[in-house]
Amino acid sequence: MILLLFGPPGCGKGTQAAFLAEHFHIPAISTGEVFRAECKAGTPLGKMACQIMAKGGLVGDDIVNGVVANRLTRPDCAGGFVFDGFPRTLPQAEQLDKILEARGFGKPQVVDFCVSPEELVKRISGRWMCSVGGEIYNIHEAPPKVAGICDRDGGKLVQRADDRPEAVKERLVVYERQTKPLTEYYRRRGVLDLLDAGAPVEEVSRALEKLVKCS
């Protein structure tokens, strides 16, 4: 099972990747999460990625492809995996195809999350993340039991640097320009499914589970 969750910032990819990982016992790989962790650790890669992410741009293809190729060598990927936020450009999609072919994996299933622009803004502006474990909350839809504190590990909840309005605007522009065209790439390969992701979380999870099982 190789799943690629595709869609604009804030559409719910991370939330549903966590659901799929738990449900199907496969690792969820978020390239955004990898770069945020590097950022937090203050590594040279993190320092470089931090600056790009805070402005809403994309980390360079060579760097992203290297990170992904390395991650896919880990044994937990042998039975499949779900990507959240990768690929985001044509060179990334082509590189992934090469890796899948070289390692004898089948074709991926690509799920395109469809959400209205108004709902995206609402979701992003309400998002808070645990500074320890990365658990995602939303003050409108899925608030923590105690304001500002993670239910799971008691970590402090913080907002992402790239959730500032100017960065969000740029992320949406970058998505339309560089990432959205990939839907055509996958449609032509017959592996693209559209998902109405504007519904509440549990409803989207049910629809996604059905879509994945039916393919």
Residues engaged in binding ligand AP5 (CB under 6 A): 7, 9-15, 30-32, 35, 52-53, 56-59, 64, 84-86, 88, 92, 123, 126-127, 136-138, 141-142, 162, 171, 200-201, 204
206 is catalytic: no
Catalytic residue status for 171: yes
74 is catalytic: no
Angle subtended at Cα 146 by Cα 153 and Cα 199, rounded to the nearest 5 degrees: 90
Find the residue with minimal CB distance to ligand AP5.
Answer: 32
Active-site residue identified among 88, 123, 169, 177: 88
Q: Shortest distance, CB of residue 188 to ligand AP5, whole angstroms?
A: 20
Least separation in angstroms between CB 163 and ligand AP5:
7
CA angle 198, 199, 201 (to 5 degrees): 110
- Find the shortest distance in angstroms from Cβ 160 to ligand AP5: 7
- In the complex with ligand AP5, the residue whose CB is nearer, 80 or 144, is 144
88 catalytic residue (yes or no): yes
Our answer to whether residue 189 is catalytic in this structure is no
| Shorter beta-carbon distance to ligand AP5: residue 104 or 123 | 123
Q: Nearer to ligand AP5 by C-beta: 104 or 165?
A: 165
The catalytic position among 55, 98, 107, 127 is 127
Of 46 and 56, CB closest to ligand AP5: 56
CB of 185 to ligand AP5, least distance (A): 14
HEC per residue, the chain: CEEEEECCCCCCHHHHHHHHHHHHCCCEEEHHHHHHHHHHHCCHHHHHHHHHHHHCCCCCHHHHHHHHHHHCCCHHHCCCEEEECCCCCHHHHHHHHHHHHHCCCCCCEEEEEECCHHHHHHHHHCEEEECCCCCEEECCCECCCCCCECCCCCCEEECCHHHCHHHHHHHHHHHHHHHCCHHHHHHHCCCEEEEECCCCHHHHHHHHHHHHHHC
- Among all residues, which ones are annotated catalytic? 13, 88, 127, 160, 171
